[in-house]
Structure 1
């Protein structure tokens, strides 16, 4: 059974954020770390049939799971497992691969709206201090807010705050981007149009060593350069599909070999085919 997506999506490098209805679906897995925050209880099961009923779940990457009973109002965040927020979410939640450990331990609740203007009690993670190696004060680019004026911008901004709290990347003030990282972000789209993007090519373009650029890029963007490039390709392709392009045209324009290649990468990352999302989702810029 396919996932009945009905709601809105915000796609950023390293993050797919969804707000809306969570329905039943079949056993599946995705490479992303998934955070589900719901206004009402929902029930999930793992590959062994063990069940969990909760309002908060963190599903580790490549872990088979199914939604048995959905929820009308929910937030789903898919984070790249190699990103600093993705790693931090797993570490802070203390969840494992079994259904009984998908519900994180919590110490208190805090009123954070899941969707719209109504507030719901959303548990905070038990650990709120930065993890070792975490760059305090850095708010990765995956948390940049949508432009003001979109009908869903307020909902998406609130949802980003929820994800920031759970990942520990909720600093009020961001450290400005390093000039070389800013230059790399500017040059990568041009390189993407020419073919594969190599770390050394980007480093040469911004006059840094590959190792130093890799360090700065992960710290300021929140995700290593290679998965960042893959997410840019996914974002470009799904933007084109949402705009009415065929899967084949969108895949080629985004640098995938063909539409099956794009679909495989998208399904492996998010657990759904892009065609399942295009018609039912309000995409935020």
Structure 2
């Protein structure tokens, strides 16, 4: 797959696009929304005990699903639900998992060359979010102090103090108010969100060629085993399985 663009803090950008051979994942859930398109043919998605085949899917954040895209070239887009693009897409999603039919898939991919590089993929991902969003949908309201905290967390170093007292002081809220406001605004509790950011840092470290143990340490995991368990829960595969699908650094 194409090496993704990343932020200076080692996190994914609000819209992250990769392209390459598809794979199979076990049932999992992650905080990102994602769009998966088969360049040709179909892929299978299982959610709520029901399996369907489609030309592509869009999933809501934190929704359990499994994907089988073996033997299919795919374009995969992760959207940060709290970003502008993610909020627009999320507001227009009327089901936990939405199937993309072949005509819609073909229209989305019409201006994406097969050999598109990271910059072209990135620009295409933003355009795809715009095309898939409903202009009349009303985005989720995020508490302004929570939004401030989200910006700070995405720019923080892995070793930064993320204790509840420290984060409450950073947000300018009481600890109890922060816990409730964060869940109401983001949709998941604060601790699982912090784990999601940690996982992003691990993927970025792995993509730059770090071995699993060093990637786990750099991201703040206790060890590679803890990181791999988290990978399986959030991506439906182990860290080593994902690492094998990443490009080799130059």
Q: Structure 1 residues 207 and 48 mapped into 2: Cα distance closer, same or farther (>3 Å)?
A: closer
Tell whether 2:55 aligns with 1:55.
yes
2:231 to 253, 266, 270: 266
Structure 2 distance, partners of 1:111, 1:37, is: 11
Structure 1 distance, partners of 2:208, 2:221, is: 18
The Cα offsets for residues 86-110 of structure 1, whole Å up to 9 and x where unpaired, read as 89649724356xxxxx525899789
Q: Structure 1 residues 265 and 208 mapped into 2: Cα distance closer, same or farther (>3 Å)?
A: same
> Is the 1:44–1:51 contact (alpha carbons within 8 Å) kept by the matching residues of 2?
yes
TM-score, normalised on structure 1? Answer: 0.58
Gaps of at least 5 residues in structure 1 are 1-5, 97-101, 119-149, 172-176
Tell whether 2:152 aligns with 1:156.
no
> Is the 1:30–1:271 contact (alpha carbons within 8 Å) kept by the matching residues of 2?
yes
Structure 2 distance, partners of 1:115, 1:226, is: 39
The Cα offsets for residues 38-60 of structure 1, whole Å up to 9 and x where unpaired, read as 33221326499976442122357
2:222 to 232, 236, 257: 257
Tell whether 2:93 aligns with 1:103.
no
Equivalent residue of 1:264, what SS?
A: helix
Greater share of residues in strand: 1
Q: Name the residue aligned to 2:173.
A: 208
Q: Name the residue aligned to 1:71.
A: 72
Q: Structure 1 residues 71 and 65 mapped into 2: Cα distance closer, same or farther (>3 Å)?
A: closer
Greater share of residues in helix: 2
Q: Structure 1 residues 81 and 30 mapped into 2: Cα distance closer, same or farther (>3 Å)?
A: farther
Equivalent residue of 1:19, what SS?
A: strand
Q: Name the residue aligned to 2:206.
A: 241
> Is the 1:39–1:114 contact (alpha carbons within 8 Å) kept by the matching residues of 2?
no
Structure 2 distance, partners of 1:223, 1:278, is: 27
Structure 2 distance, partners of 1:209, 1:106, is: 49
The Cα offsets for residues 44-85 of structure 1, whole Å up to 9 and x where unpaired, read as 264999764421223573234433x5433x322356889994
1:29 to 27, 30, 37: 27
Tell whether 2:5 aligns with 1:7.
no
Deviation at 1:167, TM superposition (A): 5.3
Equivalent residue of 2:40, what SS?
A: strand
Deviation at 1:162, TM superposition (A): 1.5
Deviation at 1:238, TM superposition (A): 2.1
Deviation at 1:8, TM superposition (A): 3.8
Gaps of at least 5 residues in structure 2 are 138-142
TM-score, normalised on structure 2? Answer: 0.64
Q: Structure 1 residues 87 and 105 mapped into 2: Cα distance closer, same or farther (>3 Å)?
A: farther
Alignment of 1:211-230 (within 5 A): 211=177, 215=181, 225-230=190-195
For structure 1, which segment, 7-16 or 259-268, has the greater mean C-alpha deviation from structure 2 after superposition? 7-16
Structure 2 distance, partners of 1:250, 1:24, is: 22
Q: Structure 1 residues 8 and 227 mapped into 2: Cα distance closer, same or farther (>3 Å)?
A: same
Structure 1 distance, partners of 2:196, 2:241, is: 18
Give me the CA root mean square deviation: 4.9
